């Protein structure tokens, strides 16, 4: 296996080669762990995920700001819904 490539392997093989897979991921490889051919997990260095995480945080903050109604506490909203 070479650094900087994308690989896909089963859970059994991933379990047996975990330390070498972590080293490959640290060098820029993306390793998909599969079970019965279905992708379950991605092992990567995380640099790609940081951009996505920032986008997600911004998206959730936008949703939160639009959802704030200013009608009071959560308890009062729950009570209002029970009426």
Q: What is the DSSP string of 27-55?
A: TT-EEEEEETTEEEEEE--SHHHHHHHHH
Domains of the chain are 6-82 (3.40.1620.10)
30: exposed, middle or buried (C-beta count within 10 Å: 0-12, 13-18, 19+)?
A: middle
**In this predicted structure, what is the pLDDT of residue 16?**
93
The overall pTM is greater than 0.85: no
Residue 29: what pLDDT? 87
The strand pairing partners of 41, in sequence order, are: 33
Q: What is the mean pLDDT of residues 22-29?
A: 87
Say yes or no to pLDDT of 59 above 70. yes
- The predicted pLDDT at position 13 comes to 94
Is the predicted pLDDT of residue 41 greater than 70, yes or no? yes
CB distance 42 to 22 below 8 Å: no
Q: Which residues contact 65 (CB under 8 A, 6 or more apart)?
A: none
Mean pLDDT of the region 69-81: 70
């Amino acid at each position: 296996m070479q650094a900087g490539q994308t690989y896909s392997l089963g859970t059994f093989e991933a379990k047996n080669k975990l330390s070498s897979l972590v080293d490959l991921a640290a060098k820029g490889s993306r390793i998909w762990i599969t079970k019965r051919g279905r992708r379950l997990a991605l092992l990567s260095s995380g640099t790609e995920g940081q951009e996505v995480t920032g986008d997600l945080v911004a998206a959730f903050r936008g949703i939160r700001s639009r959802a704030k109604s200013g009608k009071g506490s959560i308890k009062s909203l729950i009570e209002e819904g029970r009426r």
